[in-house]
């Protein structure tokens, strides 16, 4: 298996070609992915018509809505996740700004505040989710810690430009499950209020969600990334001992094992060439995440199946 650091090297050019990175300079990256590279979805609350089990991963809309359908409440929330793996550590991030663009071709019309202010919020997602399977029923967990509150729209077609999401992005990078992105919803989901933006599936490049992250120094892959790519964790599935092969990498490592909810269930802070096993015999059968760290931060994340 290859580490995420190695994957970043292998896919770096490919993502540029697929519009995952629209611009890179010495200190900032602009993420504005297209339908192929973008990860976003809408979810719908309406239970009377079964919308709460529908997936909106291919929608051209990125909305926060409180409305009705034939008299029944029908809210919409949106989720978005950016591929942040080229960024090595949250400590690198100086600023992060998200821009959302009104969707002029949306069937949901325009922004609305018929019954009150359409204030909205961006909350960090803390559990895993899949763009193609997420629904209102199985939506991932979120936290209100460092949530960003957005003022109501001032026009029916307003773009929301340069939303400060710096702390959200830093927290997202520190998520033991890897970055899981943000949930966009109205603060008060009382109909009739809505915000109508474009998703990464919109055919117009310039209308897709854009995230600009500026760093403390030039964007670069670590010089020891090739060595880190040699690190392996095995066996997988496992039941008793988990082994680490550090290849040509040197120094001290720490390993943390997380549940799928992000809880630390096991850790060892003294791994290295002279200590390369972790006893997992007390873990219940199931799926976990193993995060391997050194002084540079997380260098490897692996999904682990415990039998």
What is the sign, positive or negative, of the torsion defined by CA atoms of 135, 138, 140, 141?
Answer: positive
Phi, psi of 12 (to 5 degrees): -55, -50
**pLDDT for position 86:** 64
Q: What percent of the chain lies above the pLDDT cut of 90?
A: 60
Tokens 């999401």 correspond to 165
In the predicted model, is pLDDT for residue 115 greater than 70? yes
Span 206-245, pLDDT tens digits? 999 999 999 886 554 343 444 455 788 899 999 999 998 8
Average pLDDT over residues 199-206: 96
Coil vs helix vs strand at 118: coil
**What stretch of H or E contains 170?**
helix 166-173
User: How much is the average pLDDT of 162-189?
Assistant: 95
Residue bearing the bigger pLDDT, 298 or 10: 298
Structure-block tokens of residue 162: 């340069």
pLDDT for position 261: 59
How much is the pLDDT for 16?
34
Q: Read off the pLDDT of residues 260-303 as tens digits, 9 standing for 90 and up.
A: 656 778 988 888 877 889 999 999 998 887 878 877 666 677 77
Half-sphere exposure of 210 (CA within 13 A, CB side): 18
pLDDT of residue 87: 79
What tokens does 221 get?
Answer: 């892959």
Is residue 10 scored above 70 in pLDDT?
no
Nearest to 19, CA basis, from 218, 219, 211: 211
Give the chain's count of helices (H) and strands (E): 3, 20
* C-alpha neighbours within 13 Å on the C-beta side of residue 298: 25
Is pLDDT of 256 > 90?
A: no
Model pLDDT for residues 21-59, shown as the tens digit of each residue:
444 445 788 889 899 889 999 999 999 999 999 999 999
């Amino acid at each position: 298996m290859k580490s995420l650091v190695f994957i970043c090297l292998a896919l770096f050019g490919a993502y540029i070609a697929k519009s995952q990175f629209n611009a890179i300079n010495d200190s900032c990256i602009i993420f504005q992915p297209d339908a192929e590279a973008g990860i976003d979805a809408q979810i719908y609350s309406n239970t009377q018509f079964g919308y709460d089990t529908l997936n909106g991963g291919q929608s051209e809309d990125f909305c926060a809505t409180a409305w009705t359908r034939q008299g029944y409440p029908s809210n919409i929330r949106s989720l978005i996740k950016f591929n942040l793996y080229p960024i090595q550590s949250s400590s690198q991030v100086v600023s992060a700004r998200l821009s959302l663009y009104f969707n002029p071709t949306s069937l949901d019309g325009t922004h609305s505040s018929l019954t009150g202010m359409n204030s909205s919020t961006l909350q960090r997602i803390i559990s895993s989710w899949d763009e193609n399977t997420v629904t209102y029923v199985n939506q991932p967990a979120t936290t209100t810690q460092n949530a960003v509150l957005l003022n109501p729209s001032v026009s029916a077609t307003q773009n929301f430009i340069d939303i400060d999401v710096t702390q959200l992005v830093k927290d997202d990078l520190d998520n033991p499950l890897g970055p899981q992105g943000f949930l966009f919803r109205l603060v008060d989901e009382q109909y009739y209020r809505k915000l109508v933006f474009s998703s990464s599936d919109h055919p117009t490049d310039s209308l897709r969600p854009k995230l600009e992250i500026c760093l403390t120094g030039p964007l670069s892959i670590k010089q020891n990334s090739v060595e880190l790519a040699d690190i392996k964790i095995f066996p997988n599935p496992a039941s008793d001992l988990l082994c680490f092969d550090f290849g040509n990498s040197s120094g001290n490592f720490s390993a943390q094992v997380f549940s799928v909810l992000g809880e630390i269930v096991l850790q060892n802070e003294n791994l290295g060439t002279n200590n390369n096993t972790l006893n997992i015999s007390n873990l219940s059968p199931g799926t976990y995440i193993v995060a391997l760290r050194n002084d540079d931060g997380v260098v490897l994340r692996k999904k682990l199946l415990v039998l």
